[in-house]
Amino acid sequence: MTLGDLRPAERPTMYFIGVTTGSSAIHRVFAAWRPLLGLEDVDLVGVDIPVGAEPEAYRRVVEHLRDDPLSRGALVTTHKLDLYAACRGLLRRVDDDAARLHEVSALVARDGRIDGLALDTITSKLSLHAIVPRLAGRDVLVMGAGGAALALCDYFAHRAADEAPGRVVVTDIAEDRLAAIAAATEGGDGEITWRMHHLGRGEAHDALLADLAPGALVVNATGMGKDRPGSPLSDAAVFPRGAYVWDFNYRGELGFLRRARARAEADGLTIEDGWRYFVHGWTRVIDAVFDLGIPTSGPGFERLYTAALEVR
């Protein structure tokens, strides 16, 4: 739905604030999870907001969540930074990560008040450890500096400890987003070398890719291939030998993933799309909204992961 379609909920409802929510697999996945989580009477409703919307758009949806008795909370994707900037004054409290990163990935409504949480730092760690067996000392290229990239870089700087990478290059077409990552990582692990690289609009990452050491981690956090068309790489891009390639996207035209898969055998790549990140992200937010105690690993998590795979 769009903002103009918002109406009082008729039964307990959780929202999904994104750009093209109707095509998300979460609608199938949530239906499969309902009986496993005891949420049979809960609706999931997507709310589409264009990229770069005016602050009033974010305030409107947050006020709806706050004021509607049966609206319980929301997952926020794409708009994490912009929603925080527009709505900080509407939130009763934010957790430490949200306050430090100036982003919100989960909204939790309680008794006419609403709290903001930044859970991507947890999601990034859980997903990353399933992709790269040992990150320590590796080069990392993070293409895009939005909320998910900010959380990943925060994890590198402040929580990775002996698993911290050696060098991290972060790119974006927006200098303010690069500045936000520079500020968030300041004072973190002094052994990491950081480089913030401002790209011209439409500029590919091929040269930066070529500068990475073998075994590097390459992350597409641009939204290109899902929310926006295209890819951050040209068709001539060559990956570092033995690289770990991670696209935060799992749906859309996925041009970046197509290029990586075409080079997988030649370059010895390990490739991961955004599906595990998607499952971790949703289970963390659902757990925050409904206080269910959903595990992050073990049989309980794998049961949910398997159910999600079956309807992907």
Q: How far is CA 4 from CA 49, 61, 66, 274, in A?
A: 11, 10, 17, 30
Average pLDDT for the chain = 93
Residues 246, 139 within the same domain: yes
Write phi, then psi, for 256 (nearest 5 degrees). -60, -45
Residues 71, 82 within the same domain: yes
Question: Which residues partner with 43 through β-bridges?
Answer: 13
User: Whole domain around residue 89: which residue ranges?
Assistant: 3-118+276-310
How deeply is 155 buried, as exposed, middle or buried, from its count of CB atoms within 10 A (0-12, 13-18, 19+)? Answer: buried
pTM: 0.86
pLDDT tens per residue across span 194-204: 999 998 887 88
Residues 66, 11 within the same domain: yes
| pLDDT value of residue 101 | 86
CATH of the domain at 23: 3.40.50.10860
Residues 156, 238 within the same domain: yes
pLDDT tens per residue across span 79-114: 998 999 999 999 999 999 999 889 899 999 998 999
- Is residue 226 scored above 70 in pLDDT? no
| pLDDT value of residue 225 | 61
Closest CA to 220 of 242, 204, 200: 204
- Is residue 228 scored above 80 in pLDDT? no
| pLDDT value of residue 168 | 98
Residues 9, 43 within the same domain: yes
Distance CA 129, CA 150 (A): 17
Residues 183, 58 within the same domain: no
Mean of the pLDDT values across residues 66-73?
96
Count of structural domains, the chain: 2
CATH of the domain at 144: 3.40.50.720
- Is residue 169 scored above 80 in pLDDT? yes
| pLDDT value of residue 149 | 92
